[in-house]
Structure 1
Amino acid sequence: MTPAPAPAAARRAVVVDDEVALATLVGGYLERDGFAVTLCHDGAQAVDVVREVRPDVVVLDLGLPGVDGVEVCRRLRTFTDCYVVMLTARAEEVDTLIGLSVGADDYVTKPFSPRELMARVGVLLRRPRQSTAVPPAGPPPLQVGALRVDVGARETHLDGRRVELTRTEFDILAALASRPGVVLSRRALIDAVWGPGWVGDDHLVDVHVLHVRQKLGDTAKEQRFVRTVRGVGYRIGPGE
């Protein structure tokens, strides 16, 4: 699919799937929703395409031949924070966990309704995006021990060193840090980050929390910053 030239302000999407018919179908729905769409059917090529197109969202098949979706997503996260929605034909939780642990923002299991996929994309794009413009004065940065979460600048620093979080990871950490002492359930975090209209597996939150912990140097045993409250959810720790 070669879309007609789009206005400079048009949203851009890249669809990566080796099933040409499915990629074309998804691309058609995205185009009807106002996206300039680029299709790609090869994982290795997808990285170069995304680097060139600089999309707002990538719809990425997990089961690509050769360089699979997990590795593609891992490479994308070295240079872009665009939203990534992973498509998988395998419903086993391990596939979802692996895909999300490398920076995917959401996942959809095949077979799926294109309208469901578009609804997921719409939810992601309604979330705040980092801008190069000078932002209005925001709330003061949140401090948790040596961890500094600047919601206005959407930046996280630990011991003065910047921690690179995906948008979803940052939003979860900010939601917890802004409510010290409060335990947030998975559903409460989904409502705060994805919005109350989101439909899917609440355990999506667990994967993103795991990745946040890894980037902050925490483990499930040593929970300085994000603590699990068993059977309830998560709360921000004291940072010690």
Structure 2
Amino acid sequence: MIGAKILVIEDDPEIKEVIRLYLEKNGFRVVQAEDGQNAAHIVMEEQPELIILDVLLPGKNGFEVCQEIRERTQAPILFLSCKKDETDKIMGLGLGGDDYMTKPFSPNELIARVKAHLRRPHLSGGEKEAGGAKQTIGSIQIDRLSRVVRVNGGEVTLSRKEFDLLSFLASRPEQTFSHEQLFREIWGQESFNDTRTIIVHVSNLRKKIEPDPSNPQYIINVHGVGYKFISSL
């Protein structure tokens, strides 16, 4: 994790400098861009291990940039935004973002989130053992080594966090997990009362793996608690 390359796409020079100083203080290498015009090129050239992306950029906004670079990298994308509207957060996570922080933010919390994302690039040994390297449940096939998911034989595109969430739940069928437990397991940190992130990722997953997302048969709500994965179909 130490020495990992972080791409910061932020047009505010003061915020960009604060982020750079804190990242470098914690041992990270920093690449910077002030807009999203050449973001895809920078991602391909620099191969960053995590991307910090401002939403309100000149020219292409952060959501447009996210869509463009998500086709080229599975590196975690952490949105920064001065917009506190819940719909913006839902949109950002729905487009393939992994996390969303609103300005003003604590630099120490930002660093904690960066470290948490970089700590969890692969499944733990316990999860592989619980679900096996390959697992078939109904019409879903999960290959944990290649990180590929197929539904009815066709490959579906999942973000890194969507894959991790599906793999974690499927490896522990019939067990109920709270939003806080899932956030801690998948994001590697406390949820900061952020249940919306889990809800959005579950919603996105259902659209990709469920025959009828409005009436899910795999990822089931447990009222007042959280979610569980049903394998006995």
TM-score for the superposition, normalised by structure 2: 0.88
Does the aligned pair in 2 maintain the 1:218–1:225 contact within 8 Å? Answer: no
1:46 aligns with 2:46: no
Work out the CA distance in 1 between the residues paired with 2:44 and 2:121: 22
Alignment of 1:64-143 (within 5 A): 64-129=57-122, 139-143=132-136
Does the aligned pair in 1 maintain the 2:93–2:201 contact within 8 Å? Answer: yes
2:216 pairs, out of 200, 217, 223, with 223
Work out the CA distance in 2 between the residues paired with 1:179 and 1:227: 13
CA RMSD between the two structures:
2.1
1:235 aligns with 2:228: yes
Q: Unaligned 5+ residue runs, structure 2?
A: none
More contact order relative to length (CA 8 Å, sep ≥ 6): 2
Work out the CA distance in 2 between the residues paired with 1:214 and 1:65: 32
Hey, what does 1:209 align to over in structure 2? 202
Q: What do residues 70-110 of structure 1 show as CA deviations (whole Å, max 9, x unaligned)?
A: 11111111111001110010111111000110111111110
- SS of residue paired to 1:43: coil
Q: State the Cα distance separating 1:232 from its structure 2 match.
A: 2.2
Does the aligned pair in 1 maintain the 2:43–2:72 contact within 8 Å? Answer: no
Hey, what does 1:31 align to over in structure 2? 24
Work out the CA distance in 2 between the residues paired with 1:221 and 1:200: 26
Count how many residue pairs are aligned between Structure 1 and Structure 2.
226
Work out the CA distance in 1 between the residues paired with 2:153 and 2:232: 14
Hey, what does 2:53 align to over in structure 1? 60
Q: Unaligned 5+ residue runs, structure 1?
A: 1-8, 131-136
Deviating runs (4+, > 6 A) in structure 1? none
2:164 pairs, out of 163, 171, 175, with 171
Q: Which segment is superposed worse, 82-91 or 29-38?
A: 29-38
Q: State the Cα distance separating 1:162 from its structure 2 match.
A: 2.1
The verdict on how the C-alpha distance between 1:227 and 1:31 changes in structure 2, with shifts beyond 3 A counting, is: same
